[in-house]
Amino acid sequence: MHIAEGFLPPVWAAAWALFAAPFVAYGTYRVGTYVRKSPERMAMLALAGAFMFVLSAMKFPSVTGSTSHPTGTGIAVVLFGPAVTAVLSTIVLVYQALLLAHGGITTLGANVASMGIIGPAVGWLGYRAVRDRTGIVTGTFVASVLANWATYIVTSVQLGAAFPAGGGIAGVLTAAGNFAAVFAVTQLPIAIVEGVIAAAMIKQLLAVKPAVTSKLEVST
């Protein structure tokens, strides 16, 4: 779930923006490095960004009137790593906020933190943990599923911190658990389907573009 425009209290919106800023700045540097080394990587960057935009724009009804959706970050994190994924996610989230009213500008930092930074980092760690034993395609499935689930766990914590169910950390955790329970009904199966789609896409890329993918994070 993208947190909607104006939904977070200003102090939390600002805090998450400050958290996300250095990661996006470093990711921007990494994008420049990739493109300078191999200009043909621009096409792969665009592909990863388009995949993310399309999947994360899909909304599926959830309980209590909320919605769930794929994140689409698995392809980017496997091809380019978490730093570049943070930049692609930021671009996608800005376009979705402005064009689709999906998410928001004031909540951009929070949404980037969950979908563009922490979620992909978890997915990347999962990918690196299993890739050598299971292969790149299965590793992509794991990365996509973990990135999706981690994104929604972080979003639940963000909402729990902003709207605690009581005082102290117990109130935050209780509220976060309540939000996570709402999301889990639809998000658990959505993440698995997303993983299957991402794995199929990586398998196809490895088959038709080996000269390009061999230079990317997918092979390192």
Q: Report residue 220's pLDDT band, with 50, 70 and 90 as the boundaries.
A: very low
Write out the two tokens for 54.
Answer: 């399309």
Cβ proximity of 142 and 68 under 8 Å: no
Residue in 173, 177, 156, 140 with CA at minimum distance from that of residue 68 = 156
pLDDT at residue number 218: 55
Q: Based on C-alpha coordinates, what's the Rg of the chain?
A: 17
pTM of the entire predicted model = 0.91
CA distances from 39 to 42, 103, 212, 218 (A): 6, 32, 11, 17
Task: Report the C-alpha gap between 159 and 134 in whole angstroms.
Answer: 36
Spatial separation of the C-alpha atoms in residues 43 and 78, rounded to whole Å: 15
pLDDT tens per residue, range 13-37: 999 999 999 999 999 999 998 888 8
| pLDDT of residue 9 exceeding 90 | yes
Q: Of 51, 64, 52, 7, give the one whose Cα is nearest residue 184.
A: 64
Adjacent-strand bridge partners of 68: 60
Which tens digit of pLDDT belongs to each residue from 96-111? 999 988 889 999 999 9
Judged by DSSP in three states, 67 sits in strand
Q: Dump pLDDT digits (tens) for 167-204.
A: 899 999 999 999 999 888 888 999 999 999 999 999 98
Domains and CATH numbers, the chain: 10-219 (1.10.1760.20)
Nearest Cα neighbor of 64 from 192, 178, 159 is 178
pLDDT above 80 for 5: yes
Q: Write the DSSP symbol of residue 218.
A: G
Q: What was the pLDDT predicted at 61?
A: 66
Residue 219: its pLDDT value, please? 45
